[in-house]
Amino acid sequence: MDAALIPKGVKRCPLPQFLGALTVVSVVLLWGVYAMLLCWLKGLNQTNMNNAYGFALWIWADLAVIALGGGAFFTGLLRYIIGKDELKNIINFAVLLGFICYSSALLILGIDVGQPLRGWFIFWHANVHSMLTEVAFCLTCYFFVLCIEYVPLVLENRQIDRVPFFHNLSHNMHEIMAVFAATGAFLSFFHQGSLGGVSGVLFARPFGFREHILIWPYTFFLFTWSAAACGPCFTILITKITEAISRKKLVKDNVIRLLAKIAGWMLLTYIFVKTIDTIYWAFVTAPSKGFVLNFFYTDNAFYGYWILFLEIVLCGWVPAFLLVVKKTRENNKLLWIAVFLGALGAMVNRWVMVLQVLAIPVLPFENWALYIPSWQEVATTILPVAYGIILVMISFRYMPIFPQEQELNPIEPPTPEVEPAAAADAEETPADEDPAAPEGDLQPAQA
């Protein structure tokens, strides 16, 4: 029924099967929307946030998706500015994931502010002494960049591309995409950094506080670095999941391995600096404020040294080595593990820098403040995941997201039980879906 909308030369599941899967995910989405409406209509009393947790699950999710969406800006930087041409075969999907992550971040913030109608206050009455102002500015601008990068994909839909104006618009946007990508990279460096800077400047909370370079604490640079390292891991992970679900190879191994290698070196250098930063913080910064390392990981029901091990070793050093070493990088199972751990590492780091910071007592008479989110917070955090899955499903079905898919999955001409002469004719006049169909120009997917 929707065959006319599906890109040429690729095969998709039947429409009823697609709609069935879409319905299942939509149920989860509606659950999240219901919780979101509760938060908007009844207020933030629907959450378990309190005086200790002004930042809670939502802000963790916000920072996590922004870090994971970093694959878009970093892949764009590598592709358009540094000139890694092979990455053109995965940049569309990286942009899609970035678009999903950043729109999710804005959605979560829209719920978190409690009164989204006043969301424009941060622009109009900007507190330029807050790092979050820079985050708001850059986040919004970078979302515009991602929209601009995503629009050409939509315009390349088989039917939309037939309209000359849209075809030309898509063509022109591709021509100057380097300008948008450079702007996006500039914006991303700053808002990723400022998100890290928020905890780094908290001198009253020694767990998050770090030393500075000028006005920027070390966390500023570490957050940008980790996003550039873990974002591509997330892009590879979701690509692999999409390949597993669609049961197709969508991107050639050399492209995945190149991105994995770059991510591996970024991760290795990041975790090396992060380890030095942690040691310096543990033995110099925290003691100078009157704390010992043991204080941050004992005498509570949840946070122990295990989370430090998980963040630095298991989700840092291990995936870094797996991705840097050629033999392990080229092993499919180990690549799966490495990119999963890499993406998990960014999420654990954001959890530590948002929630563990707030859990630790800062006054002698205080206790650890542990927090369990309400179901409304959980549902609204799962909401963007469902939204992301739906957008990936729709984009994969109707847009040329993976330029190599056609080449990697040639559609075999049907072998009808017809006479040899008729079969010979059919070979000479390929079907509409034949990848070799002479078009006179390139398919959008091949661009």
Partner 1 sequence: MLPFISFEWVSDTVHFVFHGALWYALSVLGMGMTYCIVKAAYDTIKGKAGDHH
Select 46 or 194, whichever has its Cβ closest to partner 1. 194
Quick one: how far is CA 407 from the chain centroid?
27
> Closest separation between CB of residue 137 and partner 1, Å?
5
Picking from 363, 223, 229, 356, the residue whose alpha carbon sits closest to that of residue 301 is 356
> Closest separation between CB of residue 150 and partner 1, Å?
13
- Residues 377 and 56: their CA atoms lie apart, in Å, by 9
> Closest separation between CB of residue 95 and partner 1, Å?
14
CB contact at 8 A, 11 and 411: yes
Select 26 or 133, whichever has its Cβ closest to partner 1. 133
- Residues 350 and 310: their CA atoms lie apart, in Å, by 13
CB contact at 8 A, 371 and 53: yes
Token pair of 70, please? 């970093």
Select 168 or 332, whichever has its Cβ closest to partner 1. 168
> Closest separation between CB of residue 404 and partner 1, Å?
15
Select 113 or 307, whichever has its Cβ closest to partner 1. 113
Looking up tokens 């999941």 gives: 241
Query: Would you tell me which residues interact with partner 1 (CB under 8 A)?
Result: 123-126, 128-129, 133-134, 137-138, 141, 144-145, 148, 152, 156, 164-176, 179-180, 183, 186-187, 441-442, 444, 447
- Residues 240 and 235: their CA atoms lie apart, in Å, by 9
> Closest separation between CB of residue 129 and partner 1, Å?
7
Select 151 or 391, whichever has its Cβ closest to partner 1. 151
CB contact at 8 A, 258 and 84: yes
- Please give the single-letter amino acid code of residue 34: Y
- Residues 291 and 108: their CA atoms lie apart, in Å, by 34
- Count CB neighbours of 57 within 10 A: 24
**Residue 96 half-sphere exposure toward CB, CA atoms < 13 A:** 27
Select 174 or 249, whichever has its Cβ closest to partner 1. 174
Select 56 or 87, whichever has its Cβ closest to partner 1. 87
Looking up tokens 């908290």 gives: 202
> Closest separation between CB of residue 127 and partner 1, Å?
10
> Closest separation between CB of residue 241 and partner 1, Å?
27
> Closest separation between CB of residue 152 and partner 1, Å?
7
Select 35 or 155, whichever has its Cβ closest to partner 1. 155
End-to-end CA distance of the chain: 27
Select 129 or 327, whichever has its Cβ closest to partner 1. 129
- Residues 251 and 239: their CA atoms lie apart, in Å, by 8
Sign of the alpha-carbon torsion through 403, 408, 411, 413: positive
> Closest separation between CB of residue 139 and partner 1, Å?
11
Burial of 212 (0-12, 13-18, 19+ CB in 10 A): middle
